[in-house]
Amino acid sequence: MRPQNMNRDWITTARTLSEALPFLQRYTGAVVVVKFGGNAMGDDEAMAAFARDIVLMRQVGVNPVVVHGGGPMINDLLGRLNIESRFVRGKRVTDEAVVEVVEMVLTGRVNKRIVQAIMEQGGRAVGLSGKDDNLMVCEPDDPDLGFVGKPVEMNTQVLHDMFDHGIIPVIAPVGGGRTSTETYNVNGDTAAGAIAGALQADRLLLLTDVQGVKGADGEVLTELTPEEVRKLTTEGVIAGGMIPKTETALKAIEQGVRGVVIIDGRVQNACLLELFTEHGSGSLIRPADLPPLDDADS
């Protein structure tokens, strides 16, 4: 006979799956864009766990899109090449030498590692960048930053084609310009927000190394409206590195994304907790008057 405690474990698992059914039904066919970055990218075990969650999402009918960063890997190669890194207002100054390294690292080493991790978990994935099929056409973001781009035109047909064939897109935040000679380094959160907006995604999940948006008392705010985000920013409660993420969230919502969640990517199964449980995870930002998704929304 099997040990009694093992039976209890399986009963708990079965109950969890049963309770997840309404959420699984809710997100069938939904587009979920996930910005992946932070410490998990450098840890093989965390990478495998993330890939397993993405494959499970696809298996139950969600259309996930992974957009990744890679700042630490870029810094490492720039250092080995003796190329100085400079930052202005938190963004990397990107000259011709730096943008060449950025493209090499993001579209090569980092992108393919994520693709391979997803495939090892039984999924189908294809890596691409914003330059492929004019997915993300950019213009200069700021003259002081060099080849740092802001997306101005999006062509998501290639992503819809992948959805139709059960393929998970893994996108490096490198964009093309108006001519074939231009390449732009795009902030990963900015790229994820632009892609989510162009896809009219149901959710944009921004995985970070913090628990979420915190209030004045230090407690994580589990749900906010855009108006509340703006108020907290004006009051200085939302500050520092959280501001670019909430700005990305607000812009994505303006472009039609139903909700943006700032999640602690260090938490195991963070994406699944957000999508498929009543509790959710992190801080959900969405309009107060948003119509429900399939008669219910998390």
Query: Looking at residues 43-53, what average pLDDT do you find?
Result: 91
Q: How far is CA 51 from CA 55, 56, 187, in A?
A: 6, 9, 22
pLDDT (tens digit, 9 = 90+) per residue, 157-206? 999 999 999 999 999 999 999 887 899 999 999 999 999 999 999 999 99
Q: What is the pLDDT of residue 6?
A: 53
Q: How far is CA 75 from CA 67, 82, 87, 143, in A?
A: 19, 10, 12, 22
Rounded to the nearest integer, the mean pLDDT of the chain is 88
Pull the structure tokens for residue 274. 């957000």
Determine the Cα–Cα distance for residues 104 and 56; give it in Å rounded to an integer. 30
Determine the Cα–Cα distance for residues 69 and 191; give it in Å rounded to an integer. 10
Q: What is the pLDDT of residue 140?
A: 94
- 238 close to 232: Cβ distance less than 8 angstroms: yes
